[in-house]
Amino acid sequence: MQRSLFLSNNLPSSPNNGPTLVSHQTSNPLRQGEGDNPTAGGSHSWALAKSVSVLAVLICGASLGASRMDSRVVRVEPNRRIQDLVEQFPEGTTIEIASGVHRLESVVPKDGDVFVGEPGAILSGAALLTTFERQGKYWVARRSVPSVEAHGKCDPQHPACTFPEDLFLDDVPLRRVLHLADVTAHSWYLDYAAACLYLADDPTSHKVELSVVRHAFYGAASHVTIRGLVIEKYANPAQTGAIHALRDPGPLSRDWVVERNEIRLNHGAGVRLGHGTQLLRNRIHHNGQLGVGGSGDSIRVEENEIAANNYAGYDMDWEAGGTKFSFTRHLVVRNNDVHDNRGPGLWTDGDNEFVLYEGNRSAANLAAGIKHEISFAAVIRDNVLDGDGFNPGGTSGWWGAGIHILSSSDVEIYRNTLRNCLNGIVAVQGDRASSRSSGGPYLVQHLYVHDNTILQSSGTAAGIVKDARFDDSVFKSWGNRFRHNAYQLAAPQNKFYEWMNAPRTWEEWQAFANDTGEVPR
């Protein structure tokens, strides 16, 4: 399936200064959550106007939530620091973020704080670079940047992926290299000790930005809302988010709502989740490592577009792509559009339990559309997957599939439609030991695959493969079964199924009591 991707053509313009601050006060209540307008309730007639020197304040007589009485609304222009207002005002304050670029912002919210962006409000973690000098074949800018301990694993084409800073030329990230001698067109090098960065492209008449700030939002506060913003170009390391809903190394936040934002061009993950995070109707695209990652209980990820992540070139088997969740309970991933990620689209890896993948659309993600790995109970239903799972490393069921179950138990997969993925629905029993938290073994047991439609022109339509160190229990006695699935195959007489560690014809597949009574087309 061909998807339209964009990077620079649709980015909002970036004015440098906003209007002068004004202030108002009213006795009218601010009504939260009216329709889809993030500032609903803020347009009532004013009862009283009063000038304040640095900020706009709306004193509300009604609460913005059950736990917040005497709530305040504060408006901030691009030439004021959001964090200053967070520190000045009490918990439960609403901060309206004016249109324009708010550069180098990093916010640690208080409990109950609400951040609402006007149309065109951008939080940027990047500094503008305007002064360059020519040194031989390089253009050089001077900028002191503190180095951080890099971690992660890069693919061979992007050996410098672990360094979190990115250089953008007209909103397009350039490829970072490890040595000055490696700088060519569309690449760059940063010398931390000399405080100089080098590029080959002529920056004249172009917008050049260097990401330097680690997070847009950070911390373990509870009941925080972030709505209606563009959040871009943060220098967050791998496995951390531009929106980072925890305090490292812990604890996790609770009950954040992140909705209707565009989260793009950040080096690590776009969003890192905490307990009870609701990630709703966002566009999360072109982030360096992951679109979304995190841990916690009762997380909801619904109606987001998650696309084209891992531009920095992390190894997708290490951790990269659309999403990756670990140590979650009661995770719901529903009605998302997940496509063109350089790695798995939707991925639960490591002690996830009671997971629901429902109603998602997945296309052109590498390695897997939906991948459930060394985890436990999950339901995967009513998803549509197109062209997922292709992997440069190989083509067998070990390497990828539309729906890929790796050493995980108690998974039910039904009413999904898979069209021409590398492989269809495949489970893999590898030697993955046991959970360190629960002690439960990582085994493909009680897998129930039923009532799916699988269209396959090559590869494996359905089946299980195992490591040679295991006996045949995964096939014979662990309760794994395929029932009532419909297959539309390019050549039905070919061996489109995998069982007992061998490719099988339809007749052989049924002889092992799989999909009995069905007829492939």
- Of 50-59, 102-111, 475-484, the least confident: 50-59
Distances (CA, A) of 308 to 213, 270, 455: 22, 12, 25
Task: Tell the burial category of 298 from Cβ atoms under 10 Å away from its Cβ (0-12, 13-18, 19+).
Answer: middle
User: Which pLDDT tens digit goes with each residue over 342-381?
Assistant: 999 999 999 999 999 999 999 999 999 999 999 999 999 9
Residue 59: is its pLDDT beyond 70?
no
- What average pLDDT score do residues 465-484 get? 97
Residue 430: is its pLDDT beyond 90?
yes
pLDDT of residue 23: 36
Q: What is the DSSP string of 408-421?
A: --SEEEES-EEES-
pLDDT of residue 47: 32
- What average pLDDT score do residues 308-336 get? 98
- Do the Cβ atoms of 388 and 345 come closer than 8 Å? yes
- What average pLDDT score do residues 261-276 get? 98
d(C-alpha 75, C-alpha 156), whole Å: 46
Task: Tell the burial category of 238 from Cβ atoms under 10 Å away from its Cβ (0-12, 13-18, 19+).
Answer: buried
Q: E strands of 335-439, at which residues?
A: 337-339, 346-349, 355-358, 361-363, 368-373, 378-381, 384-386, 401-406, 411-414, 417-419, 425-429
3-state helix, strand, coil in the chain (%, to 5): 5, 40, 55
Residue 233: is its pLDDT beyond 70?
yes
pTM summary value: 0.87
User: Which pLDDT tens digit goes with each residue over 19-28?
Assistant: 223 333 333 3
Q: What is the DSSP string of 246-315?
A: B-TT--B-B--EEES-EEES-SSEEEEE-BT-EEES-EEES-SSEEEEEEEES-EEES-EEES--TT-B-
User: Which pLDDT tens digit goes with each residue over 191-216?
Assistant: 999 999 999 999 999 999 999 999 99
Q: What is the 3-state secondary structure (H, E, C) of 427-477?
A: EEECCCCECCCCCCECCCCCCEEECCEEEECCCCCEEEEECCCCCCHHHHC
pLDDT band at 148 (very low <50, low <70, confident <90, very high): confident
d(C-alpha 479, C-alpha 343), whole Å: 30
pLDDT of residue 20: 29
pLDDT of residue 71: 63
Residue 41: is its pLDDT beyond 60?
no
- Do the Cβ atoms of 54 and 77 come closer than 8 Å? no
- What average pLDDT score do residues 118-132 get? 98
User: 239 phi and psi, to 5 degrees?
Assistant: 70, 15
User: Which pLDDT tens digit goes with each residue over 504-517?
Assistant: 999 999 999 999 87
For the chain, give the mean pLDDT. Answer: 88
- Of 63-67, 180-184, 320-324, the least confident: 63-67
pLDDT band at 11 (very low <50, low <70, confident <90, very high): very low
Element (H, E) at 100: strand 100-103
Identify any residues that bridge with 72 across adjacent strands, giving them in sequence order: 59
Bond before 441 cis per omega within 30 degrees: no
